[in-house]
A and B are shown apart, each in its own frame.
Chain A
């Protein structure tokens, strides 16, 4: 049986770790040629090695997604080596720490730059190609923090709220070019990015922070990178052909409460 992304070229940003790595390997297993885009070349290469070890097709590309020139160069390279990009998973993101009273301006700027501007730059680079090649699917990464407030995550909440609004806007504007745009709002996923946050929440005790976090999830566990990657696969594939502008929340019931 052909894979669910057979013949497609996908770019996964932040593909060097966590959800991005899980998605990149899953997309490749489903037949896509995957450009693993990461700020850290070694991390991207490690994902590529995993994919190639499973006889998939992948390419490591390095870019800081807040830099328009680096993004364009990365997409040009992906296009030249793998073919026209038909799927983009804007997974790369950063956390923030603190309320608006306790956080720093630098923290705010970095968070908005990576999570919002990065999504914009990568989407624009991908959409230019997709519009000329019969369309495509862009999957953005929001968060439950797009939908409900999370304590001491002011910049992160704001940035992820912006991603949801941007998704709707892109969905409307790009529909005529047959580009679908949807956003995933995951609940807490246990990734390297989360460990400092869990430790802080537990007052220095990561285990305690973990238990406190799980208590917010009716399903009784945190998400795994694979949980989210499977949602991304669904939105990237033609199985979701009538979905655009949708907000999908794999969050173990957290925002249903």
Chain B
């Protein structure tokens, strides 16, 4: 691969312990980033993102932050962090800055679809609406807000939000998710417009259907999978690595004139 003009170094991936987040973490790591994962689930990152063939882990608990902070060999770290909690997010970002001194890329990946109860609008429980928006909208808001001062100081940075093609066209029977992803797309554009003057870019990635732990309950049902794949012109769902590939290309700085853009990776789903 062509060397990007200025190689960034430190990336934070929220929800980086599974699915698209894990694939992104692996890919950015392979591209030479120091990657810190923010994940709410301490067991998942232990088991998958960190320990697999990556050598010993040191556990650090910086007293002033009060967060568990684990560093694997080669600089990859995990901070246990609830992206919907402002104090938690600030402490996690402070911990990263203290250890690495900068944050070049934030990948707002953590997201949820909501339970099966979060369906068409008039049947959506308020709690489900709030939970989906807390993770999918408040999360990117809090994480972006926390990293922006450092990025402004650096006069560089890239905030990449994993939205969804549901942020551009509605997913049937998924009102809360669709609305939250629409908000994530416009949050991205707002950051792009307001922070371009500091050399900071913001882009969204809008996947269609991807096989991840979040979607496997549907895709593991052969009939449902066939039904879904029939709607996708490329005739298949995506692998998480295919989304990670796009994040990696964005993070590399190669597409330096792209900002405020929702990059659609949906196998043609939203083209018709």
Contact = CB atoms under 8 A, between A and B. Distances in A.
A253 B193 CA distance: 6
B71 interface: no
B257 to A, nearest CB: 4
Contact of B2 (A29, A172, A220, A248): A29
B268 A247 contact: no
Contacts of A255: 260
B270 A245 contact: yes
Contacts of A29: 2
A162 B155 CA distance: 38
A252 B254 contact: no
B233 A239 contact: no
Contact of B260 (A167, A218, A245): A218
Contacts of A252: 196, 257, 259
A236 interface: no
B246 A218 contact: no
A30 B235 CA distance: 29
Contact of B249 (A227, A234, A244): A234
Given A227-B256, A250-B258, A252-B196, A241 B242 contact: yes
A171 B1 contact: no
Interface residues of B, number: 37
Given A231-B258, A245-B268, A249-B261, A220 B242 contact: no
Interface string A114-136: 00000000000000000000000
Among B234, B245, B268, the one with the most A-chain Cβ atoms within 10 Å of its Cβ is: B268
Contacts of B201: 219
Contacts of A228: 257
Interface string A154-193: 0000000000000110011001100010000011000000
B63 interface: no
Given A175-B234, A234-B249, A256-B189, A219 B257 contact: yes
A251 interface: yes
A228 B254 CA distance: 10
Nearest to B191: A256
A246 interface: yes
A168 B233 CA distance: 11
B118 interface: no
Contacts of B35: none
Given A171-B271, A240-B265, A243-B265, A218 B255 contact: no
Contacts of B261: 248-251, 256
A224 B257 contact: yes
B171 to A, nearest CB: 17
Contacts of A15: none
Given A218-B193, A223-B257, A256-B261, A172 B233 contact: yes
Interface in B208-245: 208, 233-235, 238-239, 242-243, 245
B255 A256 contact: no
- Give me the 4 closest cross-chain CB pairs, A-B, nearest first: A245-B271, A256-B260, A175-B233, A218-B196
21 contacts: A4-B1, A4-B2, A171-B271, A175-B267, A219-B257, A231-B257, A240-B245, A240-B246, A240-B265, A241-B242, A242-B208, A242-B242, A243-B265, A244-B234, A244-B271, A245-B266, A245-B271, A246-B266, A252-B196, A252-B259, A257-B189
Interface of A: 1, 4, 29-30, 167-168, 171-172, 175-176, 180, 186-187, 218-220, 223-224, 227-228, 230-231, 234, 239-253, 255-257
Given A248-B263, A257-B260, 13 more contacts: A4-B2, A167-B271, A171-B271, A187-B257, A218-B197, A219-B196, A227-B257, A234-B254, A234-B255, A240-B246, A244-B233, A251-B261, A255-B260
